C-alpha cells in the first residue's frame, strides 16, 4: 500500500493520500454491506469507488 501511495504522490502531490482514503472507504463499505458487491470468480468481490477518484485525477 505504501508503494502505491508513493507512486500516486509522484503523479500529483496529495494523490497518494486520496488513494489511501478511497481504499479505506471501500473497505468500510464492504464491511458494512458485504452483499452489495458483486462476486468475481469463486472467492473475490469487486468494489468501485463512487467518486472514481483515479479517473478524475487523470483529467
pLDDT tens for the chain, 59 residues long, are 999 999 999 999 999 999 999 999 989 998 898 888 777 666 655 666 554 544 455 54
Provide the grid cell at 23. 481504499
| pLDDT at residue 34, rounded to an integer | 84
Range of the domain at 32: 2-57
Q: Any idea what DSSP says for residue 46?
A: -
pLDDT at 46: 63
Predicted confidence at residue 15, as pLDDT, reads 96
Q: What separation in angstroms does the CA of 19 have from each of 9, 24, 31, 35?
A: 9, 9, 18, 24
Mention every residue, 6+ apart, whose C-beta is less than 8 A from residue 45: 30, 34, 37, 38, 39
Q: Please give the model's pTM, rounded to 2 decimal places.
A: 0.65
Residue-level pLDDT at 53: 47
Number of domains present in the structure of the chain: 1
Amino acid at each position: 500500500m505504501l508503494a502505491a501511495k508513493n507512486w500516486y504522490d509522484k503523479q500529483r502531490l496529495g494523490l497518494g493520500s486520496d488513494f489511501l482514503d478511497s481504499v479505506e472507504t471501500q473497505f468500510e463499505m464492504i464491511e458494512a454491506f458485504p452483499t452489495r458487491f458483486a462476486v468475481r470468480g469463486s472467492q473475490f468481490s469487486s468494489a468501485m469507488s463512487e467518486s472514481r477518484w483515479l479517473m478524475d485525477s487523470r483529467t
